[in-house]
């Protein structure tokens, strides 16, 4: 299911493609032996167990600020935080902070895409005590929970995320986590994730 990478011949052919005079730049993390290519475990695939996450970033149309999102595959429970840049260090710090308040049994695996913003996966994986896996290139459906959640998130995000406060992010995250979902038998992500009802005042 997961990418085996380019063959030696295909890499050579790729180098020979015309690029209108522009040199082919070597990418820091392009899937060629830099990522963990082991398939994520079956319990992460079948959605029957809590603690298996998908991670991604949402980029505003203005500025360099991005939103880091983590979604539990079983419950669709969302964690989100703003990062000042879409770079490896900023995204890594955001992931560590988001996971810091969760019990260890709620942090089992995380599936990432192969963008350079996740280059420090060994570091945040070790700090957060979570196993990191990667989807195939151009295979967004392998992180479909994240993709569907982003459609909901974009209803709340302005084009320029630079000035939005953390309180606003937590506000719409709370709304999404307490919204009943049809595919959860009309339970909320919060109810499924914590196995309790959040009593609103």
pLDDT tens track of the chain, all 201 residues?
A: 433 333 334 333 333 333 344 333 334 444 434 666 777 888 888 889 999 999 999 987 766 899 999 999 999 999 999 999 999 999 999 999 999 999 999 999 999 988 899 999 999 999 999 999 987 665 565 566 878 888 899 899 888 888 899 999 999 999 999 999 999 999 999 999 998 765 554
pLDDT of residue 109: 96
CA angle 158/161/167 to nearest 5° reads: 95
pLDDT of residue 80: 97
- The H or E element that residue 171 is part of is helix 166-177
| pTM of structure | 0.79
- In 3-state terms, what secondary structure has residue 72? strand
pLDDT of residue 128: 97
For the four alpha carbons of 43, 114, 125 and 149, in that order, the dihedral sign comes to negative
How far apart CA 4 and CA 81 sit, in angstroms, is 32
Question: Please, are residues 77 and 193 in contact by the beta-carbon 8 Å criterion?
Answer: yes
pLDDT of residue 142: 55
Question: Please, are residues 94 and 68 in contact by the beta-carbon 8 Å criterion?
Answer: yes
How many residues comprise the chain?
A: 201
């Amino acid at each position: 299911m997961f990418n085996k990478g380019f063959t030696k011949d295909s890499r050579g052919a790729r180098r020979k493609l015309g690029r209108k005079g522009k040199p082919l730049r070597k990418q820091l993390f392009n899937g060629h032996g830099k990522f963990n290519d082991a398939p994520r475990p079956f319990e992460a695939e079948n959605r029957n167990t809590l603690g298996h996450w998908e991670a991604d970033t949402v980029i505003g149309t203005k500025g360099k600020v991005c939103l880091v999102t983590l979604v539990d595959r079983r419950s669709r429970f969302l964690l989100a935080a703003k990062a000042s840049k879409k770079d490896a260090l900023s995204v890594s710090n955001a992931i560590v902070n988001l996971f810091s308040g969760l019990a260890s049994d709620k942090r089992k695996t995380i599936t990432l895409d192969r963008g350079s913003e996740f280059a420090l996966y060994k570091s945040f994986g070790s700090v957060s005590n979570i196993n990191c896996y990667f989807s195939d290139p151009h295979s967004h459906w392998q992180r479909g929970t994240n993709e569907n959640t982003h459609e909901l998130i974009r209803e709340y995000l302005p084009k320029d995320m630079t000035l939005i406060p953390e309180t606003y992010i937590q506000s719409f995250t709370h709304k999404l986590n307490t919204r009943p979902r049809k595919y959860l038998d009309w339970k909320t992500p919060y109810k499924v994730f914590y196995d309790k009802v959040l009593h609103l005042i």
